[in-house]
Amino acid sequence: MQVTLITDIQGQSLLEEEKTWLNHAFLGGIILFTRHFKSREQLIALIREIKSINPDLLITVDHEGGRVQRFREGFTQVPAMGKLGVLYETDPEKAKQLATAAAIVLAYELQEVGVDLTYAPVLDMDYQRNTVIGDRAFAGDQQTINVLATCFMQGLKEMNFPVVAKHFPGHGWVNLDSHVACPVDERSFADIEKQDLQPFKQLLPSIDWMMPAHVVYEKVDSEPAGFSQIWLQKILRGQLGFKGRIVSDDLSMAGAAVKGDYKARAQAAMKAGCDVLLACNHAEAPLEILTALETLSATPFDLTNYKPALTLSEHKQAYMSALALLAELE
């Protein structure tokens, strides 16, 4: 199968050893975090340095707004999507406008510094049980999620940004954090399908990448969704007919550690159906996975077709209008 890795670097500039694997055939992109950011100028310089070594790499970030906004100084503070969900209850039209505006602002400002993709939106339901999800979710009901996520996706599409939906088939019910544990969802498939699965299903035509959860849905499969052939091949690919990329959640998370070392995690994710592997926040992960991929039955592919192809100047007015809308929310 085809597979590629998106991983991170350690600091705000490249280490010499990192430069040696940036051109690896199985490396498709870099993900950046707050620790990589000191200022806009430094971030631009870092991205330029990465692209000077390998211009084909997709530069990505987990940048949703609210609590999960990796770059702040010099960037617009975009509200948490849950705040828009609350507004939707009293002013649905304004909330819809702001959802589109939030995506335009995020995408425009990210592309200004050289970022090509953000892992958004969150389509999980907020049951007020999981603080890791919480107000990252648009709401606790399907209708609000579907409406506002559609508007957010339209904003990303207007800026030619890919839509990355997470965390399939829904992370909101469990009360543990998959960054530090392997949560178990005890509900039946019928309950999950009736509730959490619906936003993913309804919005599927607009989704380019799908990120599964590091959650075990024990009445469906004993494997976490990101390592589950049932969830990714039988349900997502087979029943729902998803044709886009499946990107694993971070293979360094505790929810993935149940599979063993990094080679075992990569192999398990690939076998389940992930074709983009994500591994970050662990210095040994990049080289271990890249070396492992050389020995597995896989062929590399690049992600250059997901780079936004637009001239920012042509979208300046849309950006300014979106900024003005967000300012009204404050």
**Whole-angstrom distance between the N-terminal and C-terminal Cα of the chain?**
48
CA distances from 301 to 4, 163, 247, 305 (A): 6, 19, 14, 11
Question: In whole angstroms, how large is the CA radius of gyration of the chain?
Answer: 19
- Domain 2-329 annotated CATH 3.20.20.300: yes
* Phi and psi torsions of 236, nearest 5°: -65, -50
- Quick one: pLDDT at residue 256? 66
- Between helix 92-113 and helix 40-53 the angle, nearest 10°, is 60
- Quick one: pLDDT at residue 180? 53
* Distance between CA atoms of residues 269 and 3, nearest Å: 10
CA distances from 191 to 122, 142, 188 (A): 20, 13, 5
- Quick one: pLDDT at residue 254? 62
Catalytic residue status for 261: no
Residues lower than pLDDT 70 in the chain: 176-181, 254-258, 330
* Distance between CA atoms of residues 289 and 285, nearest Å: 6
Choose the catalytic residue: 141, 177, 179, 302: 179
Catalytic residue status for 249: yes
Q: What is the mean pLDDT of the chain?
A: 93
* Distance between CA atoms of residues 282 and 284, nearest Å: 6
Residue with tokens 């050893």: 17
- Quick one: pLDDT at residue 176? 62
Choose the catalytic residue: 135, 249, 250, 275: 249
For the chain, which residues make up each domain, given as ranges? Answer: 2-329
Asked if residue 184 lies in contact with residue 216, where contact means CB atoms within 8 angstroms, the answer is: yes
